[in-house]
Amino acid sequence: MSAGFYHAIEPVLSRRRYGEQKDYLDSSIFRKQVSFVESGLLACWQEADHGDDVLIDFAIPGDLLFSFSALFGFRSQAASFLKAIEPTELICLSMPDAKRIWQEQPDTELVLRHFFHRRQERQQAHSRMLLMKPPARFEAFRQSFPDTWFRLPNRLICAYLRISETTLLRAKRRN
């Protein structure tokens, strides 16, 4: 985060702590705040068309959680939520403050674009990963999350990679 951007948001920041395995965000809160993941791990779920929840991403320290739809006035149709995998601490900023800072600070656009592109790259990598054979999926996953993959429960890794636990255990043994 650039020094100018942090200096602009520091007076209006608040902190939130969430316990392990607690659902705490639904899509409506994204319209109310911007959150920077300071510590912990979050699983990002989305409700699929057929009603099941699908694990679509992880939020790790250094990620920014916010809705571009809220920032630019669009409405998101997908219901989504986050679940804390381990105790998590977020640095939060209200959406009105975020919009004001967006307008006042010239480098804010660069900061937000950086996080947006990083998120897009991860989503594209996940889509490519799902086209691979299961052992290669696991190796690509390990490379995508080198510092955190070993802290994730097997069931979440399986949900993210869309593989069975038996396949995951085989892939782990090979590595």
Higher local confidence (pLDDT), 84 or 50:
84
Residue 31: strand pairing partners: none
What pLDDT is recorded for position 158? 94
What pLDDT is recorded for position 166? 93
Bridge-based pairing state of the strands 53-59 and 33-47: antiparallel
In whole angstroms, give the CA distance from residue 2 to residue 111.
7
In whole angstroms, give the CA distance from residue 89 to residue 17.
4
pLDDT band, very low/low/confident/very high, at 74 (cuts 50, 70, 90): very low
Q: What is the pTM of this model?
A: 0.75
Task: Please give the angle made by the CA atoms of 45, 151 and 21, to the nearest 5 degrees.
Answer: 45
Three-state SS at 119: helix
What pLDDT is recorded for position 13? 79
In whole angstroms, give the CA distance from residue 134 to residue 158.
10
87 neighbors 21 (Cβ within 8 angstroms): no
35 neighbors 16 (Cβ within 8 angstroms): yes
Higher local confidence (pLDDT), 53 or 136:
136
In whole angstroms, give the CA distance from residue 135 to residue 124.
19
**Residue 90, pLDDT above cutoff 80:** yes
Structure-block tokens of residue 155: 């069931």
**Residue 70, pLDDT above cutoff 50:** no
- Read off the pLDDT of each residue in 156-163 and give the average, rounded to a whole number: 94
What pLDDT is recorded for position 73? 42
State the residue for tokens 């937000």: 112
pLDDT tens-digit map of 2-42: 555 556 666 677 887 877 655 555 444 445 777 888 899 98
pLDDT tens-digit map of 97-147: 877 777 777 677 777 777 778 878 888 999 999 999 988 999 999 998 998
In whole angstroms, give the CA distance from residue 81 to residue 30.
10
Task: Please give the angle made by the CA atoms of 29, 30 and 35, to the nearest 5 degrees.
Answer: 100
Structure-block tokens of residue 51: 């009603």
Higher local confidence (pLDDT), 8 or 167:
167
Three-state SS at 133: coil
- Read off the pLDDT of each residue in 156-165 and give the average, rounded to a whole number: 93
What pLDDT is recorded for position 121? 87
Structure-block tokens of residue 30: 């994204």
What pLDDT is recorded for position 56? 85
Residues in the chain: 175
